[in-house]
Amino acid sequence: MRIGNLNVEIEFIADNIVRVLYYYGREVIVDNSLVVLPNLEKLGIKGGSTSPSIISFASKSLSVNIKTSNGELIIKDNKGGIVVKEKRRDLKFNEELSTYNVDQVFELSEGERLYGLGQHAGGNGLGQSSAYKLDYNGLSVTLSQRNTDIGIPFIISSKGYGILWDNYSLGSISLKGNELRVWFEAGKKIDYYVIFGDSIDDVIKGYRKLTGDAPLLPKWAYGYWQSKERYKSQDELVSVVKEFREMKIPLDVIVLDWRYWGKYGWNAFKFDEIDFPRPKGMVEEIHKMGAKLAISIWPTFGKETEVFKDMESKGCIIPGTTAFNPFKEECRELFWSYVKRFYDIGIDAYWLDASEPETGLGLVFFSPIHDVDLGIGKGYEYLNAYPLMETKAVYEGQRRISDKRVAILTRSAFAGQQRHSAISWSGDVLGDWATLRSQIPAGLNFSISGIPYWTTDTGGFFSGNPETKAYAEIFVRWFQWSTFCPILRVHGTNFPKEPWRFPKEYQDVILKYIRLRYELLPYIYSLAWMTYSNSYTIMRPLVMDFRNDKNVYDLDEQYMFGPYIMVSPVTLPSIKEKEVYLPSDEYWYDFWTGEKLEGGRTTNVKVSLGTIPLFVRSGAVLPLLGKDVSNAMEDWDVLHLRIYPGKDGYFEIYDDDGVTYDYERGKYFIIPIRWDDNKQELTIGKKRGDLEMRKRIMITWVEKGKGIEYSKPDVEVEYDGKESITVKRH
């Protein structure tokens, strides 16, 4: 079928997912996407004419109508409502590049908001920004990988649809009035997927159907990560872990940053024996203390290194750079063979730093890679997908040889990267109030872009002196927010930021929130299971849960952490109260006091140095760890269930061995818990899954005076999962 001088193909991947494809000649189309999974089943829906000027394709959920007179394409839901209206499109030949520029225009509905597109805090590439926004109305966004920007060609609408473009080149998304303008520098085709759903979670589920599920990270990855630039020796690294244990501060991951290679040259995949005389022994010592080690790895190599010479001799260095070429399978395998050196001595996680990649003068990747041949095409066609392919090398490399879960930290990301067990962080940001404020909508947009695991350099990479109260306050407020991010991690340069570096007043607050993070682990790990098994999103803009309340559409300083906890970080110094909006059709409990408040209104919340506004919605069944631990891998044999009455509630507590992929084979357990608000009854159901378990479960019905620090349960039960238990509230 043709529209003007372009061929068009319409394919339904599912009732709610439709692919729209435009091209000049079929011979240029190669359907081996880097992003979309191969061999997806299609519904085989044929088009037909509903009138002389309209050709239609329809599934149970969506219809696609193309006007042959003007080329307008309209996608409607099964009630006749317009979902997407594409006004026009063009493939303009670019003689310099010998390919086409992609240009599209969509018409939006009145009041519609758009989110996603990756992570865009604004500023100069160092996260330096005092402007921040959650929705993109009135903005233009460049889809490019930078130190503090992540470009993902996936957009989400408040109307309940998403559009994923299968294009890897530099892009621009501009939204002015009700017109959405989409441009990509290079493409032989226009290729995009429209995903529709009853909820935004349905849209994310459709995105993951297309691009892959997010595997469970190791359980320890959801604990506390301590890092700095840099621990300079084996002795220093090990001594920091010892200090955590001696001070009884929970810790799961210690991170070894760059330059451990010393005399061997940049990123040589070796340890300089002067500072790291026994790397395997170092790892074993850290493991004996119940911690894990992550190590910094770069995609670039010193020209003097054996790695560079080996890579170059095998055609695996991108011409004109020192970066390896992950777009070639043999080069990905070669890269993994070097990373495997660290796996072989027991290192637990890989920090793929500067994965844009950072290369060339000024450390900007765009120019050096733009015009080179990558083996599958020119750089300008593929440059934004570099981090996707680098993480693919490591994830698939380890999965080929091991049942140990992969954990990757990476500075850049692209669509589909969630399937590689990748955590992204927001780059080398500044440690000031404006940056803290802008990081929140940046992280929320990243999360709604379909990739669930995100974190920041808590306190900023370029940070202040922890001995000063001015910086200590910034750090504490940042840390409080990070406690409610998918991954909790501290990193930075200039000054070390272990908890004991701060004045006592601030140190006490930091320790309070580290312990709170561990108390929340049964909830967080269950959210991780939901993310894998049901395409859930942990860090959630309020529009995901309260689409019927238009007051939340532009709120960029509040969000849901899982289904129950609403977080409102403090982002200004010295304040004593903060205005918080409580979404409608809910009752909300103050996390700290247990006081119950009605939703649909704004309230002023008192804050202290030790508290930020946190609210739990009615009907919540919140599982907490009921004992102190030093790391996430200790036995969770004591649980504390906090029930927030006011409506019915349901939650499933998930657990497994935390280390292997046995969960893919059913070796886990799930405890279903139901709260019947009318009967005032709590039912702990019979467990599902193959793992045996035994728990002591403490139960508290929350009310005023029974905030999070209230420790005396109303009821205790012993539970082995074999039979359900019903407890009546008295």
Which active-site residues does the annotation give? Answer: 353, 356, 428
Task: Produce one character per residue of 304-321: b if its CB has 16 or more CB atoms within 10 Å, e if not.
Answer: ebebbeebeeeebbbeeb
How many CB atoms are closer than 10 A to CB 437? 19
Degrees to nearest 5, angle at CA 190 with 184 and 193: 105
Instruction: Locate the DSSP E strands across 68-170.
Output: 73-77, 82-94, 99-107, 114-120, 140-143, 149-157, 161-165
Name residue 66's amino acid. Answer: I
Question: Tokens at residue 140, please?
Answer: 């233009």
Query: Both tokens of residue 529?
Result: 């299971």
Question: Does residue 244 contact residue 253 with C-beta atoms inside 8 Å?
Answer: no
Backbone φ and ψ of 361, nearest 5°: -65, 135
Q: How far is CA 228 from CA 26, 257, 395, in A?
A: 52, 7, 25
Give the integer Cα–Cα distance in Å for 387 and 422: 10
| Rounded distance between C-alpha atoms, residue 648 and residue 113, angstroms | 31
| Burial of 38 per CB tally in 10 Å (0-12, 13-18, 19+) | exposed
3-state secondary structure 435-461: HHHHHHHHHHHHHCCCCCCEECCECCC
Contact 211, 35 (CB under 8 A): yes
The H or E element containing residue 242 is: helix 234-246
Using CA atoms, how far residue 243 sits from 26, 286, 493, 554, in Å, is 63, 12, 20, 44
For 405, the token pair is 């879960």
How would DSSP label each residue in 554-611?
Answer: T--S-EEETTTEEE----STT-SEEEEEE-SS-EEEETTT--EEESSEEEEEE--TT-
- Give residue for tokens 């289904």: 563
| β-bridge pairing 349-352 and 408-410 | parallel
Pick from 44, 106, 49: nearest CA to 73: 106
Q: Which helix (H) or strand (E) holds 695?
A: strand 695-701
290 SS3 class: coil
The answer to whether the beta carbons of residues 587 and 598 sit under 8 Å apart is yes
Handedness of CA 235, 237, 243, 246 (dihedral sign): negative
Nearest to 636 by CA among 652, 625, 621, 628: 625
> Which backbone phi and psi does 655 adopt, to 5 degrees?
-155, 160
How far is 120 from 439, CA to CA, in rounded Å? 9
Question: Tokens 């990739």 map to which residue?
Answer: 451
Q: Report the alpha-carbon distance of residue 238 to residue 61 in Å, rounded.
A: 57
> Cα(260)–Cα(342) distance, rounded to whole angstroms?
12
Tell me the two tokens of residue 57: 């394709």
How many CA atoms lie less than 13 Å away from 231 in the CB half-sphere? 24
Provide, for the chain, the percentages of residues in helix, strand and coil under a 3-state DSSP scheme, each rounded to the nearest 5.
25, 30, 45
Crossing angle of the two packed helices 433-447 and 469-482, in degrees rounded to 10: 10
CB under 8 Å to 281, separation ≥6 — which residues? none
